[in-house]
Amino acid sequence: MNLVQQIESEFKLYEHQAQKDDFFEYRKKAFQTFQKNGIPTIKNEEWKYTNLSKISEIGFQTSCISNLDADALVKAGILNKIESNKIVFVNGCLFPELSVWLEDEPSIICTNLAKARKEHAAIFETHFGKYLPQEEGLNAMNSALMSDGAFIYVPAGKRMKYPLMLTNITDANESNILQQPRNLIVIEKSAAATVIENYIAVGDNSSFTNVVNEIFVDENASLEHYKVQRAKGDSYHNNYTQIVQNANTNINQVTLTLDGQWVRNNLHFNMNGENCNSLLYGLYIPDGQQFVDNHSRVDHAKPNCFSDEKYKGILKDKSVAVFNGKIMVHLDAQKTNAYQRNQNILLSNDATVNTKPQLEIFADDVKCTHGATIGQLDEEPMFYLRSRGISENEARKLLLNAFADDIAEKIKIPELVQILEEEIERKL
Amino acid sequence: MLKIENLKASIEGKSILNGINLDIKPGEVHAIMGPNGAGKSTLSAVLAGRNDYEVTEGVVDFLGKDLLDMSPEDRAREGLFLAFQYPIEIPGVSTTNFLKTAINEKRKYLGLEPMEATDFLKFMRSKMEEMEMDKSLTSRSLNEGFSGGEKKRNEVFQMAMLEPKLAILDETDSGLDIDALRLVSAGVNKLRNPDRSFLVITHYQRLLDYIVPDFVHVLYKGRIVKSGDASLAKELEVKGYDWIKQEVEAAV
């Protein structure tokens, strides 16, 4: 059964349940969209280099069942290197044994979607499903059959003291796993939060994780958002992160793609007020046959906003990377400052990068730049370092670390920087 | 210290060095002068191990070892130092981290334990004081955003840190104003000692007013065509290179 057939059959099963969940109407509409639009193919310009056909044929199961040993995970140190609030999902289902809550402010909420829908209905209804472009086939697929996910809410004027680590573990020990996490993050006026999305996989089977994040940041609020992708093994990962920000907001978003056989990140900023700051940074270090695709879109809809985007890649072996960044400066968005760069270093003759920085400007008083580079490590700095007694290997490491540091320095959590440095050491 | 015999090198089939002979003893300062295109920078590049050049003939003995057989890093670890004509900017690599790596790689090569972090910093601080370097240097990225003078001073500072046995200065005076030239030369002179030799490559004599050489050689068409003491440099300053060119042509 291919993926489309599976979704259709699963939805039928769902539809025929006597006890449907609260999302029935929403799911049904999304399912209709999914049936209409299906899974994107390479004929779609946005998916030109990103082929889903292989994934579609793998055949997955949706299953919460996991024999995961919580203690072993904690002992492995994957989760506890950063002092943080924690909410953990395994194969899309809440895994409460690993939750940690350090905040003493009672009005800050972190729970799962199912519960949020019941207990925080007013906030939930205001935001859920309101920002996501549903016409994207994989988004519709998520909306139709989403698993569970996190609901994070920081009320006006409140600040989370600790980062919140939202961990998703894929347990593919028993079978090929399909999961569709769905997260909703609401940061109200003048509030602040730090959220780390953390993806891990265990098991030898394949997995497809199709995530949707809806993030709303109201006036004068700020959000630090990190995405750490370390799902080893035969894991396929698509996510769509839709961020809507109102006036005077600051958002710093860093995406670190380390492991994962196939990763597609869709990141969409909608700057819906004046004086917004949107920072989008990313680092990807694929090796072997890994495939990494970073698609971003920044909509400058209002005047006086600033966006800075920088994605850097170090590619080894036969890995492939895609970068597609689109900055849309709308007619009203005068005095926009928008910067975009994609820089790649290829360490092998067999690695490939397809990059497409895009700027579309409809306002007439703006400052925008964009650019992309693909190259090898420069000979000159290598020789300079070697001429000082540094071996070729050490020189390469120094230069690659310097290249990556540019992104690492955008991370404001020292422990996360350290984790990244260890991962870079491991990958290079 | 360094003995070059009949060194010939070419790039992309074009022969640049056509049989260089040079013998540098410990503590000596040799200057190589010559008109543009004589092969001055090629000589320094070949000695430092740049692989763009093909050595077609000749032997270079450095402290009893075959220099041409060594990788650039091993040449440096054996005590060779090249002060670049155009030092490279390396964003993201701090001078401190760079020098610590370089020193410890050399120590490893020599079978020594790596330097403790505190010892290294102490050593670096003392050298910075000695070479009158600005304190901000340690945290800045290597040569990034440095002026021409700052870059050349940083080369001399690296030399002080790495304590080479033979230092090659490749057109160190190029792009320096008179004040920067004085500073850089003063730094080099501080590093002169009876065991350390220098090969100063320059187009102009003015650097040699500050770094006074024991020997001056004129390089022309890939050969050393004339050698003398420091007075030869002064003569070249007054008369230019044409008379040497004529002498060479006449001899052919």
- Mean pLDDT of the A257-269 span: 97
Residues of A whose CB is below 8 A from B44: none
Which among A119, B235, A116 is positioned nearest to A129, based on CA atoms?
A116
- Mean pLDDT of the A227-231 span: 94
| Per-residue pLDDT tens over the stretch B3-51 | 999 999 999 989 999 999 999 999 999 999 998 889 999 999 999 999 8
- Mean pLDDT of the A164-185 span: 95
A406 → closest Cβ in B71, B72, B92:
B92
The angle subtended at Cα B45 by Cα B41 and Cα B47, nearest 5°, is 120
* Cβ–Cβ below 8 Å for B82 and A386: no
Q: How far is Cα A37 from Cα A20, in angstroms, rounded to an integer?
A: 25
Across-strand partners of A359? A327
A384 → closest Cβ in B77, B84, B97:
B84
Does the pLDDT at position A81 exceed 90?
no
Min Cα–Cα distance to chain A from B238, Å: 36
pLDDT confidence of residue A411: 96
Q: Which residue has the higher pLDDT, B246 or A296?
A: A296
Identify the residue whose tokens are 């370097």. Answer: B133
Q: Which residue has the higher pLDDT, B217 or B247?
A: B217
Amino acid of residue A220:
N
Q: What distance, in Å, lies between the first and last C-alpha atoms of chain A?
A: 39
Yes or no: say if B7 and B20 are a contact pair by the CB < 8 Å rule.
Answer: yes
For testing contact with chain A, the best of B51, B105, B154 (most A CBs within 10 A): B105
Q: Which residues of A315-342 are buried (b: 16+ CB within 10 A; e: fewer)?
A: bbebbbbbbbbbbbbbeebebbbbbbbb
pLDDT confidence of residue A64: 85
Q: 10 Å Cβ neighbour count for B36?
A: 8
**Strand runs labelled E in A260-351:** 262-271, 277-284, 291-300, 306-315, 320-329, 337-346
Residues of chain B whose C-beta is under 8 A from some C-beta in A? 48-50, 71-73, 75-77, 81-82, 84, 87-88, 90-93, 97-99, 101-103, 105-106, 109, 141, 158, 162
Q: H/E element holding A230?
A: strand A222-230
Residues of B whose CB is below 8 A from A390: 73, 98, 101-102, 105
B102 → closest Cβ in A388, A401, A406:
A388
Q: How far is Cα A417 from Cα A226, in angstroms, rounded to an integer?
A: 11
Residues 6+ apart with CB under 8 A from A58: A3, A176, A206, A208, A236
Nearest CA in chain B to A405: B92
Residues of A whose CB is below 8 A from B76: 386-389
Does the pLDDT at position A74 exceed 80?
no
Query: For chain B, where are the alpha helices, taking DSSP H only?
Result: 40-48, 72-77, 95-109, 117-130, 148-162, 178-191, 206-210, 230-239, 242-251
| Per-residue pLDDT tens over the stretch A181-212 | 999 999 999 999 999 999 999 899 999 999 99
Which among A382, A308, A376, A325 is positioned nearest to A348, based on CA atoms?
A376
B72 → closest Cβ in A380, A387, A406:
A387
User: Regarding beta strands A337-346 and A367-375, do their DSSP bridges make them parallel or antiparallel, or are they unpaired?
Assistant: parallel
Identify the residue whose tokens are 């001078």. Answer: B95
Average pLDDT, chain A: 94
For residue A369, how many C-alpha atoms fall within 13 Å in the half-sphere facing its CB?
7
Min Cα–Cα distance to chain A from B158, Å: 9
Q: H/E element holding A371?
A: strand A367-375
Q: How far is Cα B102 from Cα B156, in angstroms, rounded to an integer?
A: 15
Yes or no: say if A182 and A147 are a contact pair by the CB < 8 Å rule.
Answer: yes
Yes or no: say if A385 and A398 are a contact pair by the CB < 8 Å rule.
Answer: yes
A37's tokens: 């639009």
pTM for the full predicted model: 0.89
Residues of A whose CB is below 8 A from B106: 389
For residue A195, how many C-alpha atoms fall within 13 Å in the half-sphere facing its CB?
31
Min Cα–Cα distance to chain B from A388, Å: 6
- The confidence band for A78, taking pLDDT boundaries of 50, 70 and 90, is low
Q: How far is Cα B214 from Cα B188, in angstroms, rounded to an integer?
A: 15
Residues of B whose CB is below 8 A from A391: 73, 105
Q: How far is Cα B106 from Cα B104, in angstroms, rounded to an integer?
A: 5
- The confidence band for B169, taking pLDDT boundaries of 50, 70 and 90, is very high
- Mean pLDDT of the B79-104 span: 94
Q: How far is Cα A88 from Cα A324, in angstroms, rounded to an integer?
A: 31
- The confidence band for A26, taking pLDDT boundaries of 50, 70 and 90, is very high
| Per-residue pLDDT tens over the stretch B175-189 | 888 988 999 999 999
pLDDT confidence of residue B33: 93
Q: What distance, in Å, lies between the first and last C-alpha atoms of chain B?
A: 32
* Cβ–Cβ below 8 Å for B73 and A389: yes
Residues 6+ apart with CB under 8 A from A393: none
User: Regarding beta strands A109-112 and A150-154, do their DSSP bridges make them parallel or antiparallel, or are they unpaired?
Assistant: antiparallel
Residues of B whose CB is below 8 A from A398: 90, 93, 97-98, 101
Q: How far is Cα B251 from Cα A61, in angstroms, rounded to an integer?
A: 89
Residues of A whose CB is below 8 A from B88: 380-381, 384
A108's tokens: 């800050």
- The confidence band for A77, taking pLDDT boundaries of 50, 70 and 90, is low
- The confidence band for A403, taking pLDDT boundaries of 50, 70 and 90, is very high
Q: Give residue B236's Cα distance to chain centre.
A: 21
For testing contact with chain A, the best of B70, B71, B73 (most A CBs within 10 A): B73
Nearest CA in chain B to A406: B92
Amino acid of residue A405:
D
| Per-residue pLDDT tens over the stretch B225-249 | 999 998 998 888 888 888 888 888 8
Across-strand partners of A311? A282, A342
CA-to-CA separations, A84 to A165, A215, A413, A416, B168, in angstroms, rounded: 6, 20, 11, 11, 54
